[in-house]
Amino acid sequence: MYGLIGKMLTEPGQRDVVIDILLRGTEAMPGCRSYIVARDPSNENAIWITEAWDSAEQHRASLALPSVQQAIAQARPHITGFGERFETEPVGGHGI
Amino acid sequence: MYGLIGKMLTEPGQRDVVIDILLRGTEAMPGCRSYIVARDPSNENAIWITEAWDSAEQHRASLALPSVQQAIAQARPHITGFGERFETEPVGGHGI
């Protein structure tokens, strides 16, 4: 499996707007086992996204899906940058 | 919801032993929506654990479960420390 842990930074006051866009745009992604969007309680402009995929290829392919492309286009104006980013190799557990 | 992203460090050669202990000991935890164990591809002695819970209270209560207590006791001799640790507030997504 292929995993990603990453932090996204948004314009002040726009975090929940971006979260809504992310949740709507990522509902049906082939090969996606887990995609969890979370607020950062220590930074009101930060979002944590944790992902588990069957493969890195399927993650890469998801970026070309129309729903994901649309979400990226809608969210981009509100995104100011990115923080930590870690690639992982999920092995198992609950929820994947 | 309550979330945790954390890195655990293990003795050389013991990472998969600890992963097995974690996976076996965390199968049935009330209030746990997601508990994913992953290898760190950049550090052969590191494990990433990402968790989503209904509440912080249920996460805390899980530490007292016999199965979790047993896993902690079995894994502890092989754990050398912890790396990054982030608390989150999961909002939604796939797999929770």
Q: What is the CATH number of the domain that holds B21?
A: 3.30.70.100
Task: Say if the Cβ atoms of A36 and B26 lie within 8 Å.
Answer: no
Q: What local confidence, expressed as pLDDT, does residue A27 receive?
A: 87
Rounded to an integer, the average pLDDT of A24-53 is 96
What is the tally of structural domains in chain B?
1
Burial class (CB in 10 A: 0-12, 13-18, 19+), B25: buried
CA distance B32 to chain A (A): 8
Is residue A96 included in any domain, yes or no?
no
Is residue B76 included in any domain, yes or no?
yes
Q: What local confidence, expressed as pLDDT, does residue B44 receive?
A: 98
Is residue B73 included in any domain, yes or no?
yes
Name the percent of chain A lying above pLDDT 70.
100
Average pLDDT of every residue of chain A? 97
Is residue A21 included in any domain, yes or no?
yes
The pLDDT tens digits of the residues spanning A54-74 come to 999 999 999 999 999 999 999
Task: Say if the Cβ atoms of A91 and B27 lie within 8 Å.
Answer: no
Alpha-helical segments (H) within chain B: 15-25, 56-62, 66-75
Q: Residue A48 forms beta bridges with which residues?
A: A7, A38
**Among the partner residues A34, A39, A91, nearest to B89 by beta-carbon distance:** A39
Cα–Cα distance for residue pair B23/A94, rounded to 1 Å: 9
Is residue B24 included in any domain, yes or no?
yes
**Could you tell me if A50 lies within 8 Å of chain B, comparing CB atoms?**
yes
- Host domain of residue A59: 2-88
Name the percent of chain A lying above pLDDT 90.
98
**Could you tell me if A83 lies within 8 Å of chain B, comparing CB atoms?**
no
For the cut 90, the answer to whether the pLDDT of residue B45 exceeds it is: yes
**Could you tell me if B87 lies within 8 Å of chain A, comparing CB atoms?**
yes
Is residue A95 included in any domain, yes or no?
no
Name the percent of chain B lying above pLDDT 90.
98
Q: What is the enclosing helix (H) or strand (E) of A22?
A: helix A15-25
Cα–Cα distance for residue pair B90/A40, rounded to 1 Å: 9
Is residue B95 included in any domain, yes or no?
no
**Strand, helix or coil for residue B40:** coil
For the cut 90, the answer to whether the pLDDT of residue B27 exceeds it is: no
